[in-house]
Amino acid sequence: MNLAAQLVAPGGLFAIDATRMDPALLREAAGRAEWGEDVRWRTADGSEILRDSRLLPDPLGRERVAQLQIRHTLHGEGGYVDEREPFHVRAWSPAEVEGAASAAGLQVATRLEEDRVRWLLRSTHA
């Protein structure tokens, strides 16, 4: 948030589009190590690329935190698997996002409620 606040012009807007995630569901999903298919597409030569991911428990045992791991598999000529290192993801509550925004000098201009949480934040820096 702090970096976004520094980069947004005075009175400018910054948008956040985040998936609403229940912390209990995040913890439950991280307890299963199997890969799940996210998307697949075809390259210009007709090869197929599959992107899948999995959630792993946070090694530090933090609440509302898991590790996301993504891999890409190319099926076709010269097939390969590109398995990325896991990185941390966190289930933020709307109040936490708005508090972090306020602390960084951003104010909520618009907040939409749906399956995803969306905020439009306006810079309060002069």
The model's pLDDT over 37-73, given as tens digits with 9 standing for 90+, comes to 989 999 888 889 999 999 999 999 998 899 999 999 9
CB neighbour list of residue 95: distance below 8 Å, 6 or more residues apart = none
| Interatomic CA distance for residues 106 and 121, integer angstroms | 6
Q: pTM score > 0.75 for this model?
A: no
What region, left, alpha or beta, does residue 36 occupy, with left being phi > 0 and alpha being psi -120 to 50 degrees?
beta
Domain ranges of the chain: 1-21+92-126, 23-90
At residue 16, φ and ψ (nearest 5 deg) are: -120, 130
Which tokens in the block code for residue 11? 């009175």
The model's pLDDT over 66-122, given as tens digits with 9 standing for 90+, comes to 999 999 999 888 888 999 999 998 888 888 888 888 998 888 887 776 655 554 555
